[in-house]
A and B are shown apart, each in its own frame.
Chain A
Amino acid sequence: MTKRFRVVHQASTLKRAALEMLFNPRSRVDHITALQDIDFTVAEGETVGIVGRNGSGKSTILTLLAGIYRPSFGCITVRGRIGSLLDLGAGFHHELTAEDNAIMAGMIHGLTRAQSLDRVPRVIDYAGLEGFADTKIKHFSSGMILRLGFSVVIHTEPDVLLVDEVLAVGDETFQRKCRETIGQFQRQGKSIVFVSHDLDTVAEVTRRVIWLDAGRLRMDGPSGEVLAAYRAEAAR
């Protein structure tokens, strides 16, 4: 699978586009290749970590897996319900209550209204927001919003969990709780793709790690080996 992006050098305007179309219809647009010839399979129940430097394409892979982008070449198949933890609280509205946001977000993540309603008490409970269910989230601390966001997604009962750095946010207690939940998911045989800069967490959570280097798959193997090689290169 390969993902290319068009490079936008300047804010695109209608005038430029129209002129291009008129005078230079075959003009080549610049592309950058964010991911080149990436090919991997995550087995059911497997947790795979993705490491790499900034801009190596880690988040792009998750965005592609989530179905938000589509590959320029090649094909991605994801079997099962996807729980995307790319951003906690994405789409929350500050003027709505915690409960309304939870219902909404559950539906955006693919639940029916009935399912979403049914899960709301558990979502609120897990997020530790009892007593705040009918408070507008504009009055919440950022930590409370993150907890609610995380709670909504894990209660959609995903088969495949896409995690992007979210375990690095929130306080100690919340991080521990997230870690526990991830462990629970692993025991339940769900597949997890896990992106992080925190190599210790990656080592702790995953058995297999993919190392991305400038959009190419540099190494794919047992986490100990890959992380050691990655650390060695980073130290140089």
Chain B
Amino acid sequence: MVTASRPVLVTDSTRPGVLAALRELWGYRELVVELSKRSLQLRYKNSVLGIAWSLSTPLMLIFIITLVTKRLMNQNIPNYSAYLFPVMFAWSFFSMAIPESCGVLIDNAALVRKVYFPRELLPITVVVANLVHLLIAMTVALAYLALLRILPRQVNWQVLLLFLIIPAQCAATLGIGFIVSSLNVLFEAVRYVVIVAMQIMLYAVPILYPIERVVAATQHPWSHPWLDAWLRPHFVQLYLLNPFASILVLYQKALLPPIQNAGIPALPWSWGLLGQTWLISVVILVAGAMVFGRFKWTAVERL
């Protein structure tokens, strides 16, 4: 019964080439879809609202932040909540997918230890399942903008820019997911580091303040002479090197009319920023895949 098309599995201590690894992953694409479907199905099995629950946390935060900004801080920006919708939903993608990636190998230990399949599928599945949330959330955000009559006037073809932002966001998230999922098997503390890092990150992205505030903060001299001389001139660029921050800025600039804040003219949509974000995201993805490839075998033995 020898057939020519029979698969040959060779395992040795070397690493397969990138192309061979990608080809193998492509062969499992249906499984990724199925695993993602399963994870969504199981998460919302017992609720009538189902997947809509995923919107509840960001919606609540949008409400609270709008309230605090308008009533307590007296920042009267028209349609402030509209500016929060896309960024909060985009943030929600990061803040759900990354901690979830941490545990994905451990949660599937029973399977990983007994059946061979490319381990990369598990972190990929986390991103795909959360991408479904993100797409639903962005549809809701666009509907809200339409409701406020922002969408038909100011935004038209720019909605298509979302399709250039979302893949970069997925790439960056997957890269980080690769790193945290493999390292978390080896070091339990990784999970806690990630949780704390995500809490801190919330303040390093333009959600609680518009990006124009960051620009404004660099317009006046800082009290510390050394920081003033070295950090202040580059602060905005450094801030935007963080892909979490730049992706959120891109969402806002693609969907919403310029916002006047703190006397700083609104930053326009920037193709340069998009390119830079893509570059950084791809670097993170490649680095993450390398870390995962390096540690996945050890991780499976330790599960």
Contacts and interface: CB of A to CB of B under 8 A. Distances in A.
B34 A113 contact: yes
Contact of A67 (B11, B38, B187, B188): B11
B22 interface: no
B114 A84 contact: yes
Given A5-B301, A189-B1, 7 more contacts: A68-B116, A75-B12, A82-B9, A84-B114, A90-B114, A90-B115, A93-B42
Interface stretch (B70-78, B105-113, B132-140, B244-252): B105-113
A235 interface: no
A91 B108 CA distance: 7
Contacts of A86: 114-115
Contacts of B7: 80-81, 110
Contact of B110 (A15, A64, A87): A87
Interface in B157-200: 186-190, 193
B118 to A, nearest CB: 10
A203 interface: no
Interface string A1-44: 00001101001111101000000000000000000000000001
A113 B11 CA distance: 26
Contacts of A188: 1
Given A70-B297, A78-B9, A81-B7, A91 B38 contact: no
Interface of B: 1-2, 6-13, 30-31, 34-35, 38, 42, 45, 108, 110-117, 186-190, 193, 297-298, 300-302
B16 to A, nearest CB: 11
A69 B297 contact: yes
Given A75-B10, A91-B114, A69 B300 contact: yes
Given A69-B300, A70-B13, A103-B34, A11 B188 contact: yes
B26 to A, nearest CB: 12
Nearest to B187: A14
A134 to B, nearest CB: 14
A89 B189 CA distance: 31
A66 B187 contact: no
B13 A71 contact: yes
Contacts of A17: 186-187
Nearest to B31: A107
A72 B12 CA distance: 7
24 contacts: A6-B298, A12-B186, A12-B187, A14-B193, A44-B1, A66-B115, A67-B11, A72-B13, A74-B12, A74-B13, A80-B8, A81-B7, A84-B115, A86-B114, A91-B110, A95-B45, A103-B34, A104-B34, A104-B38, A107-B31, A108-B117, A113-B30, A188-B1, A190-B1
Sort A-B residue pairs by CB-CB distance and give the 3 closest, nearest first: A91-B111, A90-B114, A67-B116
A138 B117 CA distance: 25
Contact of B302 (A8, A71, A96): A8
A79 interface: yes
Nearest to B192: A14
Given A67-B116, A75-B11, A113-B30, A90 B110 contact: yes
A19 to B, nearest CB: 13
Contacts of B38: 93, 96, 100, 104
A166 to B, nearest CB: 11
A67 B114 contact: no
Contacts of A99: none
Interface string A97-113: 00010011001111011
B17 to A, nearest CB: 15
Given A95-B42, A108-B117, A13 B9 contact: no
Contacts of B190: 14
A13 to B, nearest CB: 6
A127 to B, nearest CB: 18
Contact of A14 (B8, B30, B189): B189
Contacts of B30: 107, 112-113
A109 B115 contact: yes
A69 B113 CA distance: 9
A64 B31 CA distance: 23
A104 B298 CA distance: 26
Given A84-B114, A90-B114, A76 B12 contact: yes
A114 to B, nearest CB: 9
A74 B298 CA distance: 17
B8 A77 contact: yes
Contacts of B301: 5-6, 69
Among A6, A69, A73, chain B packs the most CB atoms within 10 A around the CB of: A69
Nearest to A79: B8
A108 to B, nearest CB: 6
A18 B77 CA distance: 47
B116 A82 contact: yes
